[in-house]
Structures are given as C-alpha cells and as structure tokens.
Amino acid sequence: MPVLQINNLTKRYGKLTALDNLNLTIEAGNIYGLLGPNGSGKTTTLGIILGILAETSGSFEWFDGEYGDKYRMRIGAILETPNFYPYLNAQKNLEIVQDIKQSSGDDIEALLTTVNLAHRKDSKFRTYSLGMKQRLAIAATLIGSPDVVIFDEPTNGLDPEGIAEVRNILRRVADSGKTVIMASHLLDEVEKICSHVAIIKDGHLRATGEVGKIFTDDTTLIISSNNLDGLKDVLASRSYIKDLSQLDNNIVECQMNSEITAEEICRLAFDNNIMLTRLETRKRRLEDDFLELTKDNITKN
C-alpha cells in the first residue's frame, strides 16, 4: 500500500520553478531516498509534503487519505539542524518532545538504546558531539510511534564513524517496519541505506525506482573484430548484453552483467568462429550512472 502519493507537484517562487510536476509513489516499508545536488528541490518536496510549504499546483496524499488532515500525527521528521534545550539531558529533552506530540506510551529508555545514547541519557545536550545530537534527533522522530520517519541530510557534517552509526540506526528503524524517507546529495549514502531512490535535479524528476535497478554494477565491454557484423549479432542475442553501440574504428561498446567474465566472452566469440582483435572490460561506477542521470537533458522520467 502506498504511504504517499505525489501528483504533478509544482512549486514556484516568482519566475523560479523549484519543483516541476513531480510524480512519486512511496510504498510502505521502503527506505526511500530523494537524491540530487544541493538546490535540486529535495527539501522543497519535504516541506510541501509535511505541510510547511504550500504547493503552487499539484497534490499529495498520505496513507490513502485514511487520517485526513491529521496525517502529521503518523509522521516523525527532521528538516533542519536538531534543536533541543542545551541545559537539559537526553531524557528530559525527549520528555518535552513527548509532551509536544501528546504521546504517553513511549519507552524513552528503549528509544535511547535504539540510537546508542542510553549511556549518555543523563548528559546535557550541550555536551553532545554533532553525531550524538543527530542521533538524539532521530530518537525524537520516533516519539509517538509514527508510521513514517523523514530525514533531511541525516549524515551531513558527520565524520565517517558518525555517518556509519547513523546509517546503521536508519536501517534498524526501517527493519522495525517503519517507512523511511531521506533526502541526500550523497550518492554513496543513498546507495548504502536506501531500497528505492528518486533522483531530482533542477526541480525535475530524472529517474525513480529500486536502487539496484537505477544504479547498476554492470561491466562496460569494449570489443572489436574483423567480422564486426557477426560480432554484433552474437552479442545482441545474449540477454546479459545491453546498450550495444558501435564506436569509431570498428569498436563495439556495451554493458554486460558483472557476473559475466572476459573468458566467457572469448569462448562465445570462438564458438561462433569470430576472431577478436580487442577485448577490454571496465567496471562501471555508480558515479557514472548518477552523472548520466543528472546531465542537462532529462534522460528518464
């Protein structure tokens, strides 16, 4: 069941279009990443779907309309830098959040354990590192047992250890059955954390789908033969070969499943009486996919 349906969502500021006809469906249980460069429209999207910003046109619906205007009660979110009372400890700060959300059944000790802060529950917020502050903010989003939690750049500014810790916490939150939506400009973090991704640039949706299908670990194959037509026919007949194209100098380039080896390609050519004059394989990088999807021309939608 979709927890969020976005239809032709558009946001304009005068002549500037921050978001242009965005369409997305986020299913329950997904860890969904909104990925794009800074200024791409990610935070604008989050602001609109949380009711903080008004859309210019289009619409969105949470939980298939089940909760009406009270959908925010089923969502926990962090959009800006975590803000808590600096002179209060973690326990007291979360109790205040609990009062604000009018929630009474939360096990604050368990929430602090989830974000690895139980041992610092009595420490004042001002003594926390940036990573600890971010983790306390994650705990705050879990007050009231929301169905969906939303994070805007949850690892921004953290050191590698802090990034890894937040990443593991978000996975645990998702494993508990909640839907996680996170905005990030970091390809590596989305690839490691998320199950699904929407790539946004300049307010346009460039691609959306499962991370493993949007970003592949395919191998680029560069190959040539004096019998180029025969080579292309043989390669095109194999399901593990895609995006076949002919370059200059009788060279063919294509993408192939990373599980296929150069030896298997040699054997394929030999079995079809084709003599190869060149065979080169290059591992495709996720960065290549990302740059291709966010180039000036919209390639997927």
Domains of the chain with CATH codes: 2-214 (3.40.50.300), 219-283 (3.30.70.100)
pLDDT (0 to 100) of residue 269: 92
Helices (H) and strands (E) in the chain, counts: 10, 13
189 DSSP 8-state letter:
H
pLDDT per position in the chain (301 positions), as tens? 799 999 999 999 999 999 999 999 999 999 999 998 888 899 999 999 999 999 999 999 999 999 888 898 899 998 877 789 999 999 999 999 999 989 988 999 999 999 999 999 999 999 999 999 999 999 999 999 999 999 999 988 888 888 999 999 998 998 889 999 999 988 888 888 899 999 898 899 988 888 877 766 678 889 999 898 899 999 999 988 988 988 877 789 888 887 888 899 999 999 999 999 999 887 655 556 566 655 654 333 3
196 DSSP 8-state letter:
E
pTM to 2 decimal places: 0.75
pLDDT (0 to 100) of residue 291: 64
159 DSSP 8-state letter:
-
pLDDT (0 to 100) of residue 301: 35
Check if the beta carbon of residue 32 is closer than 8 Å to that of residue 196: yes
pLDDT (0 to 100) of residue 47: 94
C-alpha dist (Å) from residue 26 to 31, 37, 65, 298: 9, 21, 14, 22
- The rounded distance, in Å, linking the Cα atoms of 279 and 36 is 35
pLDDT (0 to 100) of residue 259: 80
pLDDT (0 to 100) of residue 187: 82
